[in-house]
Amino acid sequence: MFVMFIYSSSDGKKEALSKKLVVVSPHPTEFMIPLIQEFENETGIAVELKNSGTSDAINEIISDSGTDILWGGSVLSVGPYEDYFYSYETPNRVDFMEEYADFSDKITCFTNVPSVLMINEDVIGDIEINGYEDLLQDELKGQIAFADPSKSSSSFEHLVNMLYAMGDGNPDKGWDYVDALLKNLDGVLLDNSSEVYKGVANGKFKVGLTFEEAAFTMLKAGSHVKIIYMSEGVVSTPDGIYINKNSSRIENAKKFVDFMTSKDAQRYIANNLGRRSVREDVIGASMLIPIYEMLSCDADRQEVIENKQKWLDTFTGLSGEVSDE
């Protein structure tokens, strides 16, 4: 989908070229549109938007396809590709919470995104779900929505979450759980994150492993869903905004980063779009529980980044073994 800004000028062709920004993002379209429209109105910069899964979005940057910004994708998923990004520290970083300011200047934290489970209350029946362990119930076989973590940033976040939570802090000990969950998926592994939350919302699946904002959006839209914060612990990871180091529109890209991390934009995001701000001066949405009320599960950021491909390969190997049974 493309969102374009219309210009009228004496040299329209030249101005349109300089007043443009190409953005690739895995964010839900309904999340992005109001923010992009306000950015365009405020800056006069037209945004050409490419909407795709995180892995495809990263490839857009690696292939140097003329894309200026990757908007979205968790820092754990995108961190290994840091060398492809331009160094820029937004002036807004001084207002970030400490844990979100402590990043390389090639990564700008955008929002805080807890992993959650989402259930459809119309079809779940009397099955009780409070966390990961409950997903292994026989009654849920083939009724669980989960996307391939090699394609979806939010699913990779869940893979990290379950490895640490079910391994009691040691990810190497979490693979027995992952293997058991794969068996209960019964061969159903989705291609992208939107299939997860939409599939649960429309009743195709009873429960899904997704991210908080997606569940919030479905809830706000009137779907009969419920957000579950895993009783074993929740990994809450920021996603980011990343500027392509080969961008020919660096100044426009900087303006995008500054706008999206500004107090006004972050306040709108928190109040209306179900995301948690990275800024100290923005209060969270009333529909979401305070972060301190969920059991936190810590993941070692550097360990995750260093082991990302190894863990994805292990997951793919296990899913292949299950499908061969």
We find that the CATH architecture of domain 12-112+238-285 is: 3-Layer(aba) Sandwich (3.40)
Residue 300 structure tokens: 């070692």
Residue 260 structure tokens: 């999206």
Query: Is pLDDT at 324 greater than 80 in this prediction?
Result: no
Query: Is pLDDT at 309 greater than 90 in this prediction?
Result: yes
CB 214 within 8 A of CB 232: no
- Identify the residue with better confidence: 28 or 96: 96
Q: How is the chain split into domains, by residue range? A: 12-112+238-285, 114-235+294-324
Domains 12-112+238-285 and 114-235+294-324 share a fold: yes
The Cα 66–Cα 247 span in angstroms is: 7
We find that the CATH architecture of domain 114-235+294-324 is: 3-Layer(aba) Sandwich (3.40)
Residue 30 structure tokens: 């309904």
Average pLDDT along the chain: 91
Residue 298, SS3? Answer: coil
Rg (CA), the chain: 20
pLDDT tens track for 180-189: 999 999 999 9
The Cα 25–Cα 15 span in angstroms is: 25
pLDDT for residue 168: 96
pLDDT tens track for 193-247: 999 999 999 999 999 999 998 998 888 888 899 999 999 999 998 999 999 999 9
User: 78-82, 120-124, 168-172, 319-323: lowest mean pLDDT where?
Assistant: 319-323
Which amino acid makes up residue 105?
D
pLDDT tens track for 128-150: 999 999 999 999 999 999 999 99
pLDDT for residue 157: 94
pLDDT for residue 65: 76
The Cα 81–Cα 183 span in angstroms is: 32
What is the DSSP pairing of strand 20-25 with strand 46-51?
parallel
**Could you tell me the pTM of the whole model?**
0.83
Residue 78 structure tokens: 């995108």
CB proximity list for 132: less than 8 A, separation 6 or greater: 162, 165, 166, 177, 181, 230, 232
Q: What is the DSSP letter of 147?
A: B
